């Protein structure tokens, strides 16, 4: 069986999450760099979003589906728990992050810096100022969530954490995000703890904000 091929961008938060799953489980994989909506991505994802997976005859899109496939197909530590309650909590946090927090923290806040719609290409201060309260609120929610155990789900590292960490990587580089992080003691400690994992270090994107392809 060939190695799993992940097609996407190392700067994409979702691509990085899938690569982290491989690293956590010790799966040998190939990352094929591609731009958003590239033909090889459209061939698998109907909307041209990244990442996509090829593994033998298997083709998959959407990071959560890919992570589930990898977790169930390969040995190594489970990133999606077998316990029904913990698995459901993992799904819960992945859904909350992907449907609500990603839209705030990445699609609105980060993009106002790196893909501004201003005439001169400078950060869109109007959007940034409008979204900053939501950034603080959502980081506060995460701060409380990880406060008890240092994980989003129980006392173990799961795909819920893997899915979140690449987003926090970018948010904490921006001034308002860094300020909110400084006030979120539990979340700051959580990030520092898990940013030391080999899976996080080995999948680090090139320095600076993601360009030119929007991460997804």
Domain ranges of the chain: 5-73, 84-198
- pTM for the full predicted model: 0.94
Nearest-angstrom CA–CA distance, 139 and 188 = 10
Tokens of 36: 């958003």
User: In this model, does residue 212 exceed pLDDT 90?
Assistant: no
- Pairing between strand 30-33 and 5-8? parallel
Nearest-angstrom CA–CA distance, 63 and 163 = 9
29: Cβ contacts below 8 Å, ≥ 6 apart: 3, 4, 5, 6, 19, 22
pLDDT at 1: 73
User: What top-level class would CATH report for the domain 84-198?
Assistant: mainly alpha
pLDDT in tens, 160-188: 999 999 999 999 999 999 999 999 999 99
Nearest-angstrom CA–CA distance, 107 and 103 = 5
**Fold equal for 5-73 and 84-198:** no
pLDDT at 215: 39
Nearest-angstrom CA–CA distance, 172 and 194 = 14
pLDDT at 94: 98
5-73 carries CATH number 3.40.30.10 = yes
Nearest-angstrom CA–CA distance, 35 and 215 = 9
């Amino acid at each position: 069986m060939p190695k799993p091929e992940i097609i996407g961008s190392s700067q994409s938060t979702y691509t990085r999450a899938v690569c982290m799953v491989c690293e956590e489980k010790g799966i040998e994989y190939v990352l094929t760099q591609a731009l958003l909506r590239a033909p090889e991505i459209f061939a698998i994802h109907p909307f041209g979003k990244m990442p996509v997976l090829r593994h033998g005859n298997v083709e998959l899109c959407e990071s959560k589906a890919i992570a589930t496939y990898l977790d169930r197909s390969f040995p190594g530590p489970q990133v999606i728990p077998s316990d029904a309650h913990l698995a459901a909590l993992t799904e819960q946090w992945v859904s909350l992050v992907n449907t609500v927090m990603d839209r705030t923290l990445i699609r609105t806040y980060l993009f106002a810096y790196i893909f501004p719609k201003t005439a001169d290409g400078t950060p869109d201060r109007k959007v940034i100022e409008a979204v900053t309260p939501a950034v603080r609120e959502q980081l506060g929610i995460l701060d409380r969530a990880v406060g008890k155990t240092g994980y989003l789900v129980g006392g173990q590292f799961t795909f819920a954490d893997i899915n979140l960490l690449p987003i926090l990587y970018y948010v904490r580089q921006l001034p308002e995000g860094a300020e909110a992080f400084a006030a979120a003691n539990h979340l700051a400690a959580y990030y520092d703890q898990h940013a030391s994992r080999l899976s996080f270090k080995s999948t680090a994107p090139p320095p600076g904000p993601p360009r030119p392809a929007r991460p997804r």
